[in-house]
Amino acid sequence: MSNLFGTPNEKETSTTLNIESCLTIATTSNRSAIDEYEENSKKFIVLAATADNNNDKLQIRLLVLGLVSSCEYYFRRILSEAVSICPTSRNVCTKYDITYAAATYFSEKNIGLALTDSSVFSGSNNIISETKRLTELNVRDSASLLAALEEYQKVCIIRHATVHSYGFIGGKNFTDLKIKNTGHYEVALTFEAFQEIADVCLNLVRAYNGQMWISIISRMITKESLKLDSSLDDIDLFSKLVNVFWSSTRLEKFTGIENLYQSIVDANKSSSEIPIPAKKHKK
């Protein structure tokens, strides 16, 4: 290259990334996806509180990435695990190809994660479409969940600006956020704002988890893959399902999965069917 035009910055050097220094063997959690999410979320909250004490707004902004990433991981886990237990979802997924790389990378236990390998959950529409694609369940059936997704979309825009433009809000993001005033905006978060974001994410995870539990268990009962006949196989299948969806604190209230199973059997005896959210059509 010609040196006729001067050197505007310091010269680059030879740099290679030792990728092994960046990675370690992953430890998989035995806890449910929602438990894992809530634990991760708590860590980010505490870090944000500390960052706020140090008036470190940059750190708070970066913590949003961690929080949304943790949220995305929840969706990967819950969908892959639901697919592995729910026969209808599994049947739906049999038609999808997964790459050889994914098949060899994930263990048999985690093969469901291969189904979401190229999925993105940092957007409400992605969550809706991936849920439909993998489970044939319609997230739009729950108004509460839809409201939670709407709010999550705002968080995703903040995350997008943080990831892709150092916090500066782009033109499309500006329009999507429906900001009334004009001007060039950037993400600036205090602990109060971070709390709002964390609340939106937690609310979404809780709304989604609750809705998916009801949808999947009611479908399994309707299709008689879960018989509620108190047989060992049935209780075993139920236990697997509970381990996917239930938070440990909620489960503690039933002092064990057997009691929860029995309460559902009893409730179904008295009402003849588990309450399935009725679809109402807008007039």
Return residues touching another protein (CB under 8 A).
41-46, 49, 141-148, 151, 191-192, 195-196, 198-199, 202-204, 207, 277-283
Shortest distance, CB of residue 139 to another protein, whole angstroms? 12
Which amino acid appears at position 269 of this protein?
K
Shortest distance, CB of residue 272 to another protein, whole angstroms? 20
Pick 41 or 135: Cβ nearer another protein = 41
Supply angle C-alpha 119, 23, 39, rounded to 5.
Answer: 65
- Name 221's Cβ contacts closer than 8 Å, sequence gap at least 6: 228, 268, 273, 274
Shortest distance, CB of residue 256 to another protein, whole angstroms? 22
Pick 52 or 72: Cβ nearer another protein = 52
Q: Please tell me whether residue 58 adopts helix, strand or coil conformation.
A: helix
* Phi then psi dihedrals of residue 186, to 5 deg: -135, 160
Shortest distance, CB of residue 148 to another protein, whole angstroms? 4
- Name 254's Cβ contacts closer than 8 Å, sequence gap at least 6: 260, 263
Distance (Å, rounded) from C-alpha 127 to C-alpha 141?
14
Distance (Å, rounded) from C-alpha 118 to C-alpha 116?
6
Pick 196 or 234: Cβ nearer another protein = 196
Pick 21 or 54: Cβ nearer another protein = 54
Supply angle C-alpha 54, 56, 62, rounded to 5.
Answer: 135
Residue whose tokens read 């949220």: 71
Distance (Å, rounded) from C-alpha 43 to C-alpha 49?
10
Pick 194 or 261: Cβ nearer another protein = 194
Distance (Å, rounded) from C-alpha 277 to C-alpha 283?
18
Pick 95 or 279: Cβ nearer another protein = 279
Shortest distance, CB of residue 281 to another protein, whole angstroms? 7
Pick 52 or 81: Cβ nearer another protein = 52
- Is 152 within 8 Å of 144 (Cβ atoms)? no
Q: End-to-end CA distance of the chain: give it in Å, rounded.
A: 70
Q: How many CB atoms within 10 Å of residue 5?
A: 7
Shortest distance, CB of residue 141 to another protein, whole angstroms? 6
Shortest distance, CB of residue 199 to another protein, whole angstroms? 5
Pick 134 or 204: Cβ nearer another protein = 204
Shortest distance, CB of residue 138 to another protein, whole angstroms? 11
Distance (Å, rounded) from C-alpha 280 to C-alpha 275?
14
